Amino acid sequence: MNDQLPPAVADALTEFLLEQRRRAPGLVSRAVVTGSAATGDWHPGVSGIDVVFVVTRDPVNDLPALAELHAASDPHIDGVYLTESELARVPEVVQTAPQVVEGVLVSQLEGAQLSWITWRELESGVQGVVDGGDVIWTPVADRYAGTQEGVVAFSRQNLLDYWQRIGESLEQELAGREEGSPLRPETVRWVALGPIRLVATIDTGEVLSKTAAADYAAERWPEHAELLQRAVRDRAGDRQEFTVRDGRQALELLRACVDVAAE
């Protein structure tokens, strides 16, 4: 029994990879689990499963069968299909690839997992290789030149481009609303926990889990510690109630993160 992944993740992926091999024989040489499932921060009903599928050939002819398989996965098994030669290049060179986002496979998708974050996660993920009727899981041993500098530069740019726009959109959404009116927990979790991970990466060169990043941010911005703790508890299944006041505090934290990127 694999002890490197949550049991629900290992079971779902084992079944998926065996069926994937049946539908596309010889295509995937190994599958590297990244994200929350590889960092001990995976929560059923909230977290998806992110995987880098390392392929031996162009998967174009296999994509229809793979699309059906991903769409039927529960929890969603998302990810990107890349060859070893593509992995050996910097992410900026690999501009598009077959990628699966929330169960939907797009044959040539830009962005998403094609970033230095994924390449950095590949250096500390969990690798699965189909062996007969089972999957053998081991720590991954990939190393790529420039990942630490790459994730820092990417995190800084992502805060200045993507997250700054998200902040502007949220500000418009909250404008004129009563402080105590309810706000979707997903919105608060997303805004409170997403940008802080990038700040942690800027500071450390590492890709932290959302929970670890919340602890990191709570030390840096203790005035937001209580909101961060509640966001983490909600994500773990201990449901919390959030209001517009919380949304504005999450927005304040987001702006602090953008300020770090602008320094």
Q: Enter the tokens of residue 91.
A: 């992410």
Q: Residue 142 in contact with residue 87, Cβ under 8 Å?
A: yes
Q: What is the pTM of this model?
A: 0.92
**E strands of the chain, at which residues?**
28-34, 49-55, 77-83, 97-101, 104-109, 126-131, 134-139, 182-183, 242-243
Q: If DSSP codes are grouped into helix, strand and coil, which group holds residue 207?
A: coil
pLDDT, tens digit, 9 for 90 and up, residues 22-73: 999 999 999 999 999 999 899 998 899 999 999 999 999 999 999 999 999 9
pLDDT one-digit tens code per residue, 68-98: 999 999 999 999 999 999 999 989 899 999 9
